[in-house]
Amino acid sequence: MIPSMKIVVGLGNPGEEHIKTRHNAGRIMVEHIEKKLEDQKIKFIKPDTYMNRSGKAVAPFIKSKKDLANLIVVYDDIDLPLGKIKISFNRSSGGHNGLESIIKAVKSQEFVRIRIGVSPSTPSGKTKKPKGEQAVLKFLLGEFKKPELETLKKLSKRVAEAVEMIFVEGKDKAMSIYNN
């Protein structure tokens, strides 16, 4: 029997104009962790499709429940402060178009997600996210500032460790350690 491939998908939009945007946090993170985990047997996917068509790039790799169990999707989350991550499993898309596309394409929600916080926060740690659909879109499609990109780069060590733990020791242990 051929073992299932471990797959980590970094969501984002293609094209130069999107490279450093907040909506590309998943793709940016996967580029960082790919270097850290290159000796692992993991396939890293950075879809060349726009966010709302991400499922088209992921579906060909998911043929069974076992494949789903070895899928991790990394993406931006406006509800989390920059520098924070949250691991979840078997949840709805929460309105995230990229995730919604994957759920529809693989016909299941039963996969692990690592959400990457992209919002500024108050000194007490509460997120300060924009109000209104247009403001949210403008914010997500806006570029990270240099210090924010540095924060993501530092966070990539933690995300790489979480990915490794998910694949080696299981999602439940990873959630208990990294969701704090």
Give me the CATH number covering residue 24.
Answer: 3.40.50.1470
Q: Name the band, by pLDDT with cuts 50, 70 and 90, for residue 3.
A: low
- Please report the beta strands in 15-150, taking only residues with DSSP state E, as ranges in sequence order: 42-45, 71-81, 85-89, 112-119
Which residues are catalytic, by number?
23
47 found inside a domain: yes
70 found inside a domain: yes
Distances (CA, A) of 47 to 26, 51, 57, 121: 11, 8, 6, 29
* Residue 133: per-residue pLDDT: 86
Average pLDDT of every residue of the chain:
93
- End-to-end CA separation in angstroms for the chain: 38
pLDDT higher than 50, residue 14: yes
d(CA 65, CA 111): 9
Q: How many structural domains is the chain composed of?
A: 1
Quick one: average pLDDT of 4-11?
92
Distances (CA, A) of 28 to 20, 76, 131, 137: 8, 10, 25, 18
33 found inside a domain: yes
- How big is the chain by its Cα radius of gyration, in Å? 15
B/e letters for 158-170, b = 16+ CB within 10 Å, e = fewer, are bbbbbbbbbbeee
* Residue 60: per-residue pLDDT: 95
Kindly state the tokens that stand for 118: 């992209």
95 found inside a domain: yes
1 found inside a domain: no
pLDDT higher than 90, residue 167: yes
Q: What is the pLDDT of residues 105-127, one digit of tens each?
A: 999 999 999 999 999 988 887 88
41 found inside a domain: yes
Question: CB under 8 Å to 29, separation ≥6 — which residues?
Answer: 10, 74, 114, 116, 152, 155, 156, 159
Range of the domain at 111: 6-178
pLDDT higher than 80, residue 1: no
Q: What is the pLDDT of residues 66-103, one digit of tens each?
A: 999 999 999 999 999 999 999 999 999 998 999 999 99
Between strands 71-81 and 85-89, the pairing is: unpaired
Q: What is the pLDDT of residues 131-154, one digit of tens each?
A: 888 998 899 999 999 999 999 999
H or E segment and range at residue 41: none
The residue behind tokens 């924009």 is 130
50 found inside a domain: yes
Backbone CA torsion sign across 102, 72, 74, 15: negative
* Residue 5: per-residue pLDDT: 86
